[in-house]
Structure formats: structure tokens, C-alpha cells
Amino acid sequence: MVSTSGSKTRNPYLEMLRPEIADMDFALPAASALLAAYLATGSFPMLIPFIIAVIGGYAAITSSYVYNDYCDVDIDEINLPNRPLVSNRLKRSQALKYALLLFIIASVAALVLNVESFVVLLIAVGTISVYSAVAKRATFLSFVPVGIAYGLVPIGIWLAFDSAGIIGYPGLFGTVPSYGDILPVPAIFLGLMMCFTDWGFTLSGVARDVEGDRARGAPTFPVTFGIPATAKFVTFMWVVGVIASIAIGLTAKIGPVYFAGALLAGGWMLTQSFDFIKNPTEGRGGRLFLQGSRYRGIMFGSLILDVILCILVPAYSGILW
């Protein structure tokens, strides 16, 4: 996880939420909720639980951004001097309270929906907090917990609409039914896709931040092995992630809109990744970071549209199957 340089708003609290990648951060929980409800019931999720899930998922994701800024002030002084904490538009104590507020919002949303979702949230937040507070300054493998944490996000959302059946404690809307497996295969591929692509996503941004990380003694992957090696690893992760995105569609047996979006966006993303190999610079890594957000936003947008078509036009879901 890295800070982004494109967040330039008048409101420092909004800026810390990374609005330039908000499409990805909203589309992920929305797509996860819609697909889970569709595969479980063949219909849309209830509107209020869906809204709560999207808001809760977004709050969980953005709380990690704010906490990362809180932990990385000294590094951002070199890499991103215009960030709110570095430029003294907010105090570190304010950022910590803000991160806690976002976590509380995510926690309330999860508890309202399904205690299982709350358990996943605690694991995800604990994992990403280890990265920001400890791992980044201790090991070149610090990117690993980031991918794991983000891979858990769609799992937590999924359980709000299709329970694993392990914890039967009811939420505000009653006990969430379990419709079969503890976790369906499409949900597993959704989590894996997020994990793999986030390793590529995060490391491309970390490559941009190599100057500050090296100066502050953070042995990140690019600092340890160099940007050319990082570019190759990043590209491999994106290849695996794109394959996992296709597996989501195959196992969920959804329609052609998703496959078209996943293939076209995935192909474009891979061309950008190979360009990073050809041009292994800090600036190219930063651009790839933002391009990774666009890819995931488009892919999840395609999934949302496809599931809507599957529900509204029953014949549509049978086109490919």
C-alpha cells in the first residue's frame, strides 16, 4: 500500500481517502455483494443491506489508507511532500482518529450484516496494520500482508449475503442463510484475484516511492532487488490476476459482458505491465499503480453490469452456457 500523488482536493480528509482510485474501492464491494446474492438466490440483494455493505467495504479499505499515511509521515516527506500530514494540513493525531472512525463505520456495517463478516474484517484490518506499522520497515516481503488483506475484502462482503454457516448469530436483518459451501468457488477466485493483483498494484506504487523508502531504511522489494526485478514480478502478478478474473466468470457461469470487460481490460493492463518492464523507472511504476486501479474499476464495473443483466434478463445468463 502506498500513498498516491494524484489526490489533490481542498479537503484533506477527503484527500486521504484517495478519491482518484475511488472507482475501484466502491466497485469491489458492490460487485462482490451483487455476485454473492445472484449466485445464492438468483436475485438482487436487499437494497439496505447492499448499501450498508458497500459503505462498510469502502470504509474498511480507506481506513487502511489513512492509517498508512499516519505511519509513513517520514517517508512521505521525501516521496509525497504535498500529502495532508506532511504539509501540516492535518495532525497525526487527527489522522489516527480518522482511521479509527472509518474502522468503526466498517465494523458497525459488518456486525449489522453478519458476524462472520466482522471476523473477516478484524483479520483483514489486523493484517494490513502489520504492514503499515511493522512489516514495511522490516522485510522486502512487506507487500504480502497487503494482498492478503485486500483479498479478504470481497470474502467479508460475500459472507454478508451468503453465510459460511459457521457463526449463526443474527444480524440486524436476521441470520444470513448459508446456501451451500462454506465459500463458493467463485468467491475463492474473487479473493485470489484481489490478492494477486494487489501484489502487482502495491509494488508498482512502491517502485515509485523507492527514494524515500531507501532514505528511511525501509527494505521494500524495489529497494532490495531494484525496479527492473520489481517490474518483472509485478507483471507476473498481473498475469496471474487476469487469469483468476477469467476463472471468476467461468465458475460463476455469468454472461459475455463480464468476459468482454475482463479480457479487454486485462489485455490492456498486461500491455501496461510489459511496458513497465521495458521502462523500469519510478515514474512508470507510479503510472502503473493508477492504471491498476482503472483496470480493477472496469473489471468490477463489467461484473456489476453482467450480474444485473443476468437477473433482469434470464435468457442472457444462458448465452454462453
Domains parsed from the chain with CATH numbers: 12-316 (1.10.357.140)
The rounded distance, in Å, linking the Cα atoms of 210 and 266 is: 26
| Identity of the residue numbered 194 | M
Choice between 209 and 268, residue whose per-residue pLDDT is larger = 268
Q: What mean pLDDT do residues 187-191 have? A: 97
The pLDDT of residue 2 is 55
Helix (H) or strand (E) run with residue 314 in it: none
CA dist 62 and 70 (Å) reads: 13
pLDDT band, residue 44 (cuts 50/70/90): very high
Cα–Cα dist 202/204, whole Å: 6
Q: What is the pLDDT of residues 14-31, one digit of tens each?
A: 999 999 999 999 999 999
Q: Please compute the mean of the pLDDT values over residues 2-9 and round it to a whole number.
A: 54
Weakest-pLDDT range from 5-19, 181-195, 237-251, 253-267: 5-19
Tracing cell 507510479 back to the chain, one arrives at 286
Question: What is the per-residue pLDDT for 178?
Answer: 84
What helix, strand, coil percent values describe the chain, rounded to 5?
Answer: 75, 0, 25
Find cell 502506498 and name the residue. Answer: 2
Across the chain, how many H-helices and E-strands are there?
13, 0
% of the chain exceeding 90 in pLDDT: 83
How distant, in Å, are the alpha carbons of 17, 235, 250, 301 from that of 225?
30, 15, 36, 35
- Phi, psi angles (nearest 5°) of residue 174: 95, -175
**For position 5, what pLDDT does the model report?**
52
247 class by beta-carbon count within 10 Å (0-12 exposed, 13-18 middle, 19+ buried): middle
Helix (H), strand (E) at residue 183: none
Give the pLDDT of residue 165: 85
Residue with grid cell 437477473, as numbered in its chain: 311
Q: Is 102 exposed, middle or buried (0-12, 13-18, 19+ CB in 10 A)?
A: buried
Q: Give how far Cα 166 sits from Cα of 8, 56, 161, 173, Å.
A: 44, 21, 14, 17
pLDDT band at 1 (very low <50, low <70, confident <90, very high): low
Mean pLDDT along residues 284-312: 96
Whether 120 has a pLDDT exceeding 70, the answer reads: yes
pLDDT above 90 for 318: no
CA distance 235 to 241: 10
pLDDT at residue 308, rounded to an integer = 97
Q: Is the confidence at residue 7, as pLDDT, over 60?
A: no
Rounded CA-CA distance 134/137 in Å is: 6
State the chain's mean pLDDT as an integer.
93
Task: Give pTM, 2 decimals.
Answer: 0.93
Q: Is 20 exposed, middle or buried (0-12, 13-18, 19+ CB in 10 A)?
A: middle
Query: Are 194 and 150 a contacting pair, CB within 8 Å?
Result: yes
Per-residue pLDDT band for 99 (boundaries 50, 70, 90) equals very high
**CB-based contacts of 103, cutoff 8 Å, min separation 6:** 59, 60, 63, 125
* Alpha-carbon gap, residue 117 to 244, rounded angstroms: 23
Which is nearest to 190 in space by CA: 10, 32, 16, 19? 32
- Please, are residues 298 and 269 in contact by the beta-carbon 8 Å criterion? no
pLDDT of residue 76: 87
pLDDT of amino acid 4: 57
